[in-house]
């Protein structure tokens, strides 16, 4: 028997030590490291930055080197006009067998747009803003992942607390049922009281099992979210609240750091750049070009057996837009409309985030006050439940009265623990809205 007991204790110890105490910070770290969504957004940002560069803005010269060679071997018959007299014994007909000819060409050319109404500078500014949006989108995705992990973490924590509450209630109901059964066997308790105790016991067992299933489901979701096995961790049950939050400071930080507002500002800046680009389309463009070429021609059937040409070409091209079927004018009008829309979008996002932050702040502040009341209420109900237990053991209150005090205590514990998780989520929501979530 002692050997079985030692083995049991060892197995419990090994199982306990094999589980990691998963703090919220560690869960967030796992969630970010194992998130495919974040990896996709990071790859999208890399693609945007690869596309947006100074060359794509048209601010670098184009240099082209080309070379070619062709040769031929032909049989040729040449017949000259009668009025051509070459003198001597030269015949008017010439036949050439296996006559060779070749042509070698090589060139290097450079072209560069000297002026285009500063389109290249505006395009480069647009690219910079697009690159910053790519980074902000990555930050936005990371913030959403952090908040998702936080919500799931406290959801699991709350469900574990509910399960523990129902587990305790089941143990109390089982103890009470055994007492009633013993009394019934001695004839001091009626069959009806025994049946009532059995009904309460069964109901508590159902509540406990449903809570256990809920915990299992939430644990699986947590495991999927952070990318580690669902049996490898236990949660930390610590709650610390920040009571030093100031609404004015939060609103200032929101205006400067909130990712959604920052993206809206950058979209507005891009719309400004696009308007400048559309306006620059009305200006003339000046292109510089230069090239050096070399040609070598050889022929056994030509009057000139070999000819070499080489030299430099330099020039300027000036394009002046006169009429383009109103396409440029329409593009400019659309750019102005787009800028106006981005301004409306920025104002709307500012107001929406502002309202959400103020709401979350007051929910959090009022929730902390209500939390103190719930805690005091829970302590009072616990005292009442302990008194009722003593009275029940002495036979001074009925089974129904004791049961009611137990249900009241269960509900008070569930309300208090649920409020703890809800208020903590509100705190992190405030951090997200004020642009501080990744710092916390």
Please give the DSSP secondary-structure letter assigned to residue 438: T
- Please work out, in degrees rounded to the nearest 5, the angle formed at the alpha carbon of residue 399 by the alpha carbons of 211 and 200: 25
Contact yes or no for 32/146 (Cβ under 8 A): yes
According to the model, what pLDDT value does residue 1 have?
A: 36
Contact yes or no for 235/24 (Cβ under 8 A): no
According to the model, what pLDDT value does residue 349 have?
A: 97
DSSP alpha helices (H): ranges in 52-190? 119-185
According to the model, what pLDDT value does residue 93 have?
A: 61
- How distant, in Å, are the alpha carbons of 30, 66, 136, 315 from that of 143? 14, 52, 10, 55
Give the DSSP H/E element, type plus range, for residue 105: strand 93-115
In a 13 Å sphere around the CA of 404, the CA atoms on its Cβ side amount to 5
Instruction: Centre a 10 Å sphere on the Cβ of residue 33 and count the other Cβ atoms it contains.
Output: 11
- How distant, in Å, are the alpha carbons of 63, 64, 67, 328 from that of 105? 17, 14, 5, 41
- Residue 92 has φ and ψ, to the nearest 5°, of -80, -10
Domains of the chain (ranges; CATH) run 21-52+116-283+323-433 (1.20.1600.10), 63-114+285-320 (no CATH)
According to the model, what pLDDT value does residue 129 have?
A: 96
- Residue 323 has φ and ψ, to the nearest 5°, of -150, 135
Which residues have CB under 8 Å from 82's CB, separation 6+?
92
Beta strands (DSSP E) in 269-417 are 285-299, 306-319
In a 13 Å sphere around the CA of 296, the CA atoms on its Cβ side amount to 7
Regions of the chain where pLDDT drops below 70: 1-18, 75-96, 300-303, 439-440
Can you tell me the distance from the alpha carbon of 57 to that of 121, in angstroms, rounded to the nearest whole number?
A: 8
According to the model, what pLDDT value does residue 16 have?
A: 43
Can you tell me the distance from the alpha carbon of 68 to that of 66, in angstroms, rounded to the nearest whole number?
A: 7
According to the model, what pLDDT value does residue 5 have?
A: 31
Contact yes or no for 402/389 (Cβ under 8 A): yes
Q: The pTM is what?
A: 0.83
pLDDT digits (tens, 9 = 90+) for 71-105: 888 766 666 656 555 555 555 566 667 778 888 99
According to the model, what pLDDT value does residue 87 have?
A: 55
């Amino acid at each position: 028997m002692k050997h079985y007991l030692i083995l049991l204790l060892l197995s419990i110890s090994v199982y306990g030590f094999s589980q990691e105490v998963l703090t919220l910070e560690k869960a967030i770290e796992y969630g970010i490291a194992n998130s495919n969504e974040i990896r996709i957004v990071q790859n999208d940002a890399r693609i945007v930055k690869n596309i947006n560069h100074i060359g794509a803005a048209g601010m670098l010269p184009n240099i082209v080197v080309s070379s070619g060679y062709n040769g031929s071997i032909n049989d040729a018959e040449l017949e000259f006009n009668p009025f051509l007299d070459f003198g001597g014994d030269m015949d008017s007909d010439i036949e050439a067998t296996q006559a060779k000819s070749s042509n070698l060409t090589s060139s290097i050319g450079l072209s560069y747009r000297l002026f285009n109404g500063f389109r290249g500078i505006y395009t480069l500014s647009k690219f910079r803003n697009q690159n910053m949006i790519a980074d902000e989108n990555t930050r936005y995705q990371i913030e959403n992942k952090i908040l998702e992990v936080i919500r799931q973490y406290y959801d699991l924590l709350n469900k574990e607390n509910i399960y523990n509450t129902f587990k305790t209630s089941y143990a109390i109901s089982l103890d009470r049922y055994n007492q009633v059964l013993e009394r019934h066997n001695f004839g001091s308790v009626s069959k009806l009281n025994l049946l009532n105790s059995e009904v309460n016991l069964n109901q508590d067992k159902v509540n406990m099992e449903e809570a256990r299933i809920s915990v299992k489901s939430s644990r699986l979701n947590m495991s999927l979210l952070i990318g580690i096995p669902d049996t490898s961790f236990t949660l930390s049950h610590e709650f610390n609240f920040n009571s030093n939050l100031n609404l004015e400071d939060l609103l200032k930080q929101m205006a400067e750091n909130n990712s959604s507002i920052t993206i809206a500002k950058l979209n507005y800046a891009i719309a400004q750049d696009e308007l400048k680009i559309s306006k620059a389309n009305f200006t003339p463009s000046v292109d510089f070009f230069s090239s050096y070429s070399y040609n070598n021609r050889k022929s056994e059937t030509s009057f000139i057996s070999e000819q070499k040409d080489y030299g430099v070409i330099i020039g300027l091209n000036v394009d002046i837009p006169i009429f383009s079927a109103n396409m440029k004018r329409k593009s400019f009008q659309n750019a102005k409309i787009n800028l106006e829309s981005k301004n409306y979008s920025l104002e709307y996002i500012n107001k929406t985030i502002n309202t959400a932050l103020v709401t979350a702040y007051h929910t959090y502040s009022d929730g902390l006050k209500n939390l103190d009341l719930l805690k005091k209420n829970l302590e009072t109900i616990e005292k009442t439940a302990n008194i009722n237990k003593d009275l029940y053991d002495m036979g001074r209150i009925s089974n129904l009265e004791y049961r009611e005090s137990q249900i009241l205590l269960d509900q008070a514990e569930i309300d208090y623990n649920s409020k703890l998780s809800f208020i903590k989520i509100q705190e992190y929501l405030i951090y997200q809205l004020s642009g501080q979530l990744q710092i916390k």
